[in-house]
Chains A and B, each alone.
Chain A
Amino acid sequence: MQLTEKHKQYWQKNLRLTGILLVIWFVVTFVIGWFARDLESFTIIGFPFSFYMGAQGSLIIYVLIIWYYAHAMNKLDIEYGVHEGDE
């Protein structure tokens, strides 16, 4: 089993996507969490911003991160010919 250049490119692209999504995950969770007291003052649909993010906003972003990853990777598999055969 020898990996081709194309295979290596696929893995690089996967790593880049994973990295970017992890950065978003980190910012949404820990950076906003760290500054929660400073972000309290403005509101979003009636909620203080930090409360909204903790109770709802971050969760929606998590769901979107995972949806986007599945979508993008399933497409990348086909593009690079490493997808599984359909049953």
Chain B
Amino acid sequence: MATQSQAQFYSSLKKYYSFYTGGFIAFVIFVAILEQLGVPNKILGYIFLAATVLLYAGIGVMARTADISEYYVAGRRVPALFNGMATGADWMSAASFIGMAGTLYLSGYDGLAFVLGWTGGYCLVALLLAPYLRKFGQFTIPDFLGARYGGNIPRSIGVFAAILCSFTYVIAQIYGVGLITSRFTGLEFGIGVFAGLGGILVCSFLGGMRAVTWTQVAQYIILIVAYMIPVVWLSVKQTGNPVPQIAYGYVLEKVTAREKVLNDPTTIDGAREAEVRAIFKQRQEAAEGKLKALETGGATYLAEEKGKLVQVATDLKANPDADPKAIEAADKAAADYPADAAAAKKAWTAAAGAAKAKTAPIAAHAEPFAGKDEATRNNKRKNFLALVLCLMVGTAALPHILMRYYTTPSVKEARKSVFWSLFFIFLLYFTAPALAVLAKFDVYTLLVGSNFSDLPGWVNAWAAVDKTLMSITDINKDGIVQLAEITIGGDLIVLATPEIAGLPYVITGLVAAGGLAAALSTADGLLLTIANALSHDVYYKMINPHAATTRRLNISKGLLLIVAVFAAYVTSLKPGDILFLVGAAFSLAASAFFPALALGVFWKRANKWGAILGMSGGLGTCMYYMYMTYPFFGVNAPLWWDINPISGGLFGMSVGFAGVIIGSLLTAAPAKDIQELVDHVRYPNLEGDIRTEAA
């Protein structure tokens, strides 16, 4: 392939991937035929997951390499279009593929912060970073920091920050891999994590960035096909229009009208909703009453209450006519009674919270920052915009994404490549809000008001799999489903769409394969970033600059393996909340990298001490804020200006910018060769230019 020109390479790539897409569609049709022949669903799930992972492994093996430049930056010959697809897959994680539509379903307009933040960030990548990093043209983001600011300290902070945010993010991905594998194959979660890990490693182990790039292109194609098919189908079913992104405006109007009816107690449906909400209100009050009694009565109160329950059970047993079921229930109630004050407090607080969530009227889907008073609304608006900013700036600072722009053949291609990246990402992100509304329409009109005796099949099927995804109970015992009686977990929306739309199981398998592709591709990019930061920046640049090529590659691969296993181990412990982990990674990256990277290109005066102060100050501030305010850590300090911990990057970034500027102005201007380096990255081609590209 080395003798091929770039144009030939590009046209053969187009040919390969067209064949590949055709082959994949043929494969889906083949599985559909198997389904018609009566092959059980579980087997179909296995076939789908196994076939796609084998496919990635095949590409990974074919793209193996022993060349440094191929291993780190795919030989710098990935055409803009394909780099765009690879970036799309690298970018869109399990959270985007499975979680996004669900978040939008649950929070309506306010969920759009993720849609805006995860797309608009590419404007910053395109305008402020990608072309300049490409001109610089080495291997990692710490490489740029090391060269631009000089010395090992900025590079080391860069390495630390790259590992910290990539590791936080990769945990969320491996979690997604484990979830999908375990749900669709029936393996235990922990085993699912390690099985998925095998899938991740086969893509990247032998061929580094080169293998990851070409598998990511393949994964993008699968994930976008898998995402679109059920949504288009649902749209045709509901509106007759095959373009869901246009059609759902009309559906949204109907959803809004339906919300009004359900919130209006003078209508029949509205009155039923009000009845269920009133019951939840009673439950909330009952739980709160018990909490209050516990506070005053303490252990004595608990013992008394438990004694009453035991007494009920004893009385029943003494009565020869008692119903055995009633006895059993009374025994269970006594046995389940919280053992001590701490357990009681926890159980009742949770019960009160869960009931309270159900007492509020239905929030309007399209209404921005809904709240009971002006202060709540303003607070929501402030946090919405802060989150959007953190996600955007974080996008323009996550090393695994920026690194992808090192792989294009030229600055010109890098600029075009950002366009293709966002275009391919946009395809999914402007579909997710449509999916949320279409699914909501089905739930509000078909499910609500139907009889408990004939619920749709998917409701029972998912309720059986996982109560947090779907649970439905007849609270007011009228035999009819009310909206307040349904609890839906966000992840259900994408996973159950094929069934809601009445599609055959093969499409469910396809969606699972798409989710797996999204999680695997992102995990690969992240693991590679971590391993490269350790092997290239720490080992080669700081410890042993004379290391031979084979040694560098072996160290890289060894580290990849160690990091992957360690990440899988941490994941199997199920730490924290996925959405928070993802958000935290963005805030951390935004605080640590963005000020030093952007000012490094646009402000010649920025120097080493400024970078050190800005990066460590920004990262430190963000970490401190999250530690102090995120409930998981148990400190629960008061918030600063009511900003949620997930948006801690807002403070980190501000400190970061201030640090770079103040630190630079207090110390001497950077040396002449550094200033020349800045000119060098600003112009795609200069006469008598220095060379920084690593080959």
Residues of A within 8 A of B (CB): 1, 3, 7, 10-11, 14-15, 18, 21-22, 25, 28-30, 33-34, 36-37, 40, 45-48, 50-52, 54-56, 58-60, 62-63, 65-67, 69-70, 73-74, 77, 82-85, 87
Contacts and interface: CB of A to CB of B under 8 A. Distances in A.
Given A14-B682, A77-B412, 14 more contacts: A1-B689, A18-B127, A25-B123, A33-B384, A51-B252, A54-B112, A54-B368, A62-B122, A65-B126, A66-B122, A69-B126, A77-B684, A84-B410, A84-B685
Most B Cβ at <10 Å: residue of A7, A30, A62: A62
B684 A82 contact: yes
Contacts of B122: 62, 66
A31 B7 CA distance: 43
A87 B366 contact: no
Interface of B: 5-7, 109, 112, 115-116, 119-120, 122-124, 126-128, 131, 245-246, 249-250, 252-253, 366-369, 377, 381, 384-385, 388-389, 392, 409-412, 415-416, 418-419, 422-423, 426, 429-430, 433-434, 602, 676, 679-680, 682-690
A25 to B, nearest CB: 5
Given A48-B366, A50-B368, A70-B415, A10 B123 contact: no
Interface SS, B side: helix
Contacts of B423: 63
Contacts of A48: 366
Given A66-B422, A70-B126, A1 B676 contact: yes
Given A40-B367, A56-B430, A66 B123 contact: yes
Given A69-B415, A70-B419, A84-B684, A29 B116 contact: yes
A10 B430 contact: no
B115 A55 contact: yes
A67 B684 CA distance: 18
Contact of A37 (B127, B377, B409, B684): B377
Contacts of A67: 419
7 contacts: A1-B688, A14-B682, A29-B392, A30-B388, A33-B381, A36-B381, A56-B433
B115 A66 contact: no
A62 B123 contact: yes
Contacts of B377: 37
A77 B602 CA distance: 18
Contact of B120 (A46, A58, A82): A58
A62 B109 contact: no
A62 B422 contact: yes
A7 B119 contact: no
Most B Cβ at <10 Å: residue of A34, A45, A82: A82
A45 B679 contact: no
Most A Cβ at <10 Å: residue of B112, B123, B429, B687: B123
A75 B676 CA distance: 24
A21 B127 contact: yes
A51 B128 CA distance: 28
A68 B26 CA distance: 38
Contacts of A1: 676, 679-680, 686-690
Contacts of A62: 119-120, 122-123, 422, 426
A59 to B, nearest CB: 5
B430 A59 contact: yes
A30 B382 CA distance: 10
Given A40-B366, A50-B368, A59 B115 contact: yes
Contact of B109 (A29, A46, A54, A69): A54
A58 B109 CA distance: 14
A14 B429 CA distance: 30
Nearest to B377: A37
